[in-house]
Structure 1
């Protein structure tokens, strides 16, 4: 199972590297792969079950395996892309590389579950001896080769006459055809939609011919021979992909005057992007992730300027929330399935017959775990760590996935020590552990310990500020300034007194280097302004006034605006619109009449991820309302930091 997952991950990685014009992030690509598992597989199975329930027959009949199954599978694999286009309404602003990647990821997820099922149900002496895909008369039929582009092809080894490429290639080819049709439908009329229909029919034909190669009529096999018997599909797809990448970069260069360019670059092309990534990786590794994000975001900005529309921009944040919700549900379901499998395995272990002199114990499981781990070769251990890393990468980022993989390796590698600690908890009461516990208690409970802890935190903050002053950060690298630390309360009954002017890192918005920076769109229309910007520390300053908040309306006798209505409008709605405009609609910056003459450009501020609000009011109701509004922003923009200071005049 692990080996099969690594093969599928390898195929997905190949598509990820080839689709150079992509704007999708890895998480979004992983979402399509998960949908291929959790959406396409059940719908395909239910559809086939419904057909047999209505018509009858067996699943091994020719009309089922060679006619209905290829049609249902090839169509259902396009469902994730169709749902994304329908709900996001971003078809016009997606690159052709995005279409290809979405189709490939859905196909990878589908093929992963198909191959896992084959391995799980594998039986017979030949399959157990030579591999799950080996037959007596046909030799090896499913080929996974490391040095092959898109491994996983279906072809008999002895006297091969036809083959079919893997599910990812078929679905990626049809998805790319859909992208070409959407991109050029205005120039070539709706007749261009004949292209993806033809590609889908070709995929179904190859699939059907392979499944029914000994039972289908001769005329079907003859048509399949005319189309190359499956041997030309990958070549045609690669030619289409090259054409799609060329068209994408030609389109990007039409708006390159509105996009940021690297020093020395005159055009936007994949080779220069790869060159800058390589230079960053080998010379300045701290900038590598920034260059990766910058090149992708530049492409995303370019396609938004070229093909984006107001409808796409208006629903983007709502879509993001919905897709994140679906992603979390899919991830949660996958965790539940994995947990159920582990529990089933443990139940089988506990219920297995034991010898009379054996004793079932919890600690013995960890001893057995390390014994099994120690028997594995270095390659097998490395494969398990790599598999854990690849699996975690579907749900979290790179570093959390790496931590998960190393943790997964450390548990079986320390099984004997864990078992000893379970049998004899007193082993934990070593001098080292006792000293660490006493020190932790002193730092958290004793007044002197608190003083030392706070002194250490201040020293850390001072060193960080000193390093920031000496090493001016790259504007492409997002910054996360220090978040205000809550003060220790001497008495729980005394209310906390907020005195922002006494804070070491407090900077009034009027003291920012850049003030009154306005965004504008492609028509030079205003898109909102920032009161103050600190590019060096990566902070947007926003000044808000709560004067007149408690003013009574003469007709109703109630305040004209509640604190919650005020913060929702001034903090949540305006900031949400400002971020969307900054990332989607803005093409440049300019100073306002009361602003500074020198202002940063758009690319300098797009990487800033910290908003600091300074509010002149300060009441318990206003604090509670502001926290509610900021929590809504934190949920919609998890990669941003939002803080607020009260009583700032």
Structure 2
């Protein structure tokens, strides 16, 4: 709503939308080219936001401090062409430096991640720089020909749809030098830093001279463009030797191709440990793009899964290749302190924003009060649709795209799409909203009443709970009924009922026959097992793991597993801490495999745990048990598929064992 209102009332908001769409377009180009990335879009967007809220203030404070010490003005040559390029190019690397210092998974970044982090920081910086130019250049030339057109130099800042990395700085009349956009410079230096980190063990620490030289090249090109008519001749000559800025983009693209190639070569070294899609012989970007395209055009419901699989597979691979141990405790303490201050600042900002919005709304309503004392609140929506209807199709599309691009900074693809469509539907339905405000009885139509009642009824039915708890039990009950129905009835002779003297004599009861209990017939909760908390120990009295429950008579090991960890969101990544497949591989496959091997090879006896039963079976009593039943409190399609994969691995390695799992067991 604030976005729509801003576009409606403020011309500068529409100017901001134009520049943001250009910056979003540049960011998407880097995102599509970084084929070996493991960063999510949300994490990349955070680097872009840091380029705005962190790099811009730090750069400004640096320049103010320099001028406060040495005097002078920002338009002086030594400031504009020397200090400013150095400060901007160095501080644009600040978000990446903080991430490398404090992030737990910074050691497992791909080379594309380095480039994306640098590019996103540069995009945020350039967004504010170009937005300031658009806002301030309000003269007749700027309004007529564009904000970047000068009287003598023609157009100096170029934004072209068909250009890779638009936003370059180059005069149109007799161009002799240029400088690429901020994102290219920062991405190039960041990628050089990633290559140095990756190759430092083979080439020693001298390899860090590569990112240092790339940073010097960026500063040189920036300085030469800013001071092209004032700097000494030797500086301009040195800039000519390096290509006058025209070779920088090509150099970055060569480095990016090299980085992507090194990433995929490293992944293929451990491809046997990574999940492969059907038809994959190697892990390479072309095959991944083909898999994505095939999923999109043939089975669109798999498209999101394929995207997630390819990215998470790379993330897992680089974590196995380069990941180090957990960050030091001091880093956790600093991160917690930063998060606390961030939450406080965010809370204050929300309160101030809400107070300002309510105050502005109150003033608007007060100014709209008519002579009879009624506020024309509905007129706002009429005016909103009138304005929307006057827009061209291109302008409406730009607003919807802007809302989508803005929302992608904070949420995923589908929520952002919903936000954009909602932003378009509100002004397009202004007249209907105004009519409903003037006459609320219009909502009391039979159709609306029926829809409202149905929505209320559906909202009160606990579908999720029924699906999780009742679905599995209903399935087991149906299977049990079908088994009983298909069993042939036994041929039991029946006594005829006659009128003889023994007709009132009670019939003798048939003796009950004891049959071995079929473990598949009845469900038994693991806590109802006769023996609970049975721990194995080795010859040194060391613990080798425990069984939650054991049924010796029927030969069953019960294992209770909790999937609550799948719902925990990592505070840094914003994603669940582990995937369902990672959870089942660890909890079902790996632990059970270790438990069986310890039971057969290392264990010398059993003992009870503090929460276990006092009476427990001996090691010889349980060594011949060949059945495991896992009872899991979670139940989702993804969790079922992951559990089946893990159990299949157990069945292949231990063919004489039986493995069964029940979902939704609390």
TM-score (norm 1): 0.69
Residue 14 in structure 1 maps to residue 29 in structure 2: yes
Residue 385 in structure 1 maps to residue 406 in structure 2: no
Q: Which residue is 1:247 aligned to?
A: 262
Q: Which residue is 1:426 aligned to?
A: 441
Aligned 8 A contact 1:38 1:330 in 2: no
Q: Which residue is 1:364 aligned to?
A: 379
- SS where residue 19 of structure 2 aligns? helix
Residue 223 in structure 1 maps to residue 254 in structure 2: no
> For residues 317 and 408 of structure 1, what CA distance do their matches in structure 2 show?
40
> CA deviation digits over 1:236-273, x for unaligned, max 9?
00000011111111111111122222233222111111
Alignment match of 2:223 (pick from 208, 214, 232): 208
Aligned 8 A contact 1:91 1:182 in 2: no
Aligned 8 A contact 1:126 1:135 in 2: yes
Instruction: Indicate how the Cα distance of structure 1 residues 359 and 122 shifts in structure 2: closer, same or farther if over 3 A, else same.
Output: farther
Alignment match of 1:271 (pick from 276, 286, 290): 286
Instruction: Indicate how the Cα distance of structure 1 residues 461 and 336 shifts in structure 2: closer, same or farther if over 3 A, else same.
Output: same
Alignment match of 2:131 (pick from 112, 116, 120): 116
TM-superposed deviation, 1:435: 4.7
Aligned 8 A contact 1:366 1:418 in 2: yes
> For residues 237 and 84 of structure 1, what CA distance do their matches in structure 2 show?
22
Q: Which residue is 2:325 aligned to?
A: 310
Q: Spell out the pairing of 1:37-52 with structure 2 (5 A cutoff).
A: 37-52=52-67
> For residues 207 and 52 of structure 1, what CA distance do their matches in structure 2 show?
20
Instruction: Indicate how the Cα distance of structure 1 residues 372 and 578 shifts in structure 2: closer, same or farther if over 3 A, else same.
Output: closer
> For residues 371 and 153 of structure 2, what CA distance do their matches in structure 1 show?
49
TM-superposed deviation, 1:353: 11
- SS where residue 35 of structure 2 aligns? coil
TM-superposed deviation, 1:43: 1.1
Q: Which runs of 5+ in 2 are unaligned?
A: 1-15, 476-521, 529-542, 550-557, 570-575, 600-624, 631-635, 644-662
Residue 59 in structure 1 maps to residue 90 in structure 2: no
Q: Which residue is 1:196 aligned to?
A: 211
Aligned 8 A contact 2:581 2:639 in 1: no
> For residues 88 and 642 of structure 2, what CA distance do their matches in structure 1 show?
47
> CA deviation digits over 1:562-620, x for unaligned, max 9?
xxxxx99xx99xxx9998994799798463327978999xxxx99639999xxxxxxxx
- SS where residue 326 of structure 2 aligns? helix
> For residues 321 and 597 of structure 1, what CA distance do their matches in structure 2 show?
46
Q: Which residue is 2:153 aligned to?
A: 138
Q: Which residue is 1:543 aligned to?
A: 560
> For residues 74 and 155 of structure 1, what CA distance do their matches in structure 2 show?
19
> For residues 288 and 132 of structure 2, what CA distance do their matches in structure 1 show?
40
> CA deviation digits over 1:72-94, x for unaligned, max 9?
11111101100000002544321
Q: Spell out the pairing of 1:156-171 with structure 2 (5 A cutoff).
A: 156-171=171-186
Q: Which runs of 5+ in 1 are unaligned?
A: 445-449, 468-504, 512-525, 533-540, 546-566, 613-642
Q: Which residue is 1:608 aligned to?
A: 639
> For residues 644 and 420 of structure 1, what CA distance do their matches in structure 2 show?
49
* Greater mean deviation of Cα atoms: 372-381 or 350-359: 350-359
Q: Which residue is 1:234 aligned to?
A: 249
Q: Which residue is 1:77 aligned to?
A: 92
Structure number, greater radius of gyration: 2
> For residues 382 and 84 of structure 2, what CA distance do their matches in structure 1 show?
47
TM-superposed deviation, 1:359: 9.6
Q: Which residue is 1:394 aligned to?
A: 409
> For residues 581 and 278 of structure 2, what CA distance do their matches in structure 1 show?
26
Instruction: Indicate how the Cα distance of structure 1 residues 308 and 354 shifts in structure 2: closer, same or farther if over 3 A, else same.
Output: same
TM-score (norm 2): 0.67
Q: Spell out the pairing of 1:167-566 with structure 2 (5 A cutoff).
A: 167-311=182-326, 361-436=376-451, 453=461, 508=525, 543=560
Query: Which consecutive segments of 4 or more residues in structure 1 shift more than 4 A?
Result: 312-360, 434-444, 453-467, 505-511, 526-532, 576-581, 583-590, 594-600, 609-612, 643-646
> For residues 291 and 48 of structure 2, what CA distance do their matches in structure 1 show?
29
> For residues 415 and 578 of structure 2, what CA distance do their matches in structure 1 show?
30
Q: Which residue is 2:50 aligned to?
A: 35
> For residues 26 and 170 of structure 2, what CA distance do their matches in structure 1 show?
18
* Greater mean deviation of Cα atoms: 586-595 or 325-334: 325-334
Instruction: Indicate how the Cα distance of structure 1 residues 229 and 184 shifts in structure 2: closer, same or farther if over 3 A, else same.
Output: same
TM-superposed deviation, 1:361: 3.1
> CA deviation digits over 1:518-555, x for unaligned, max 9?
xxxxxxxx9999989xxxxxxxx96289xxxxxxxxxx
Aligned 8 A contact 1:582 1:606 in 2: no
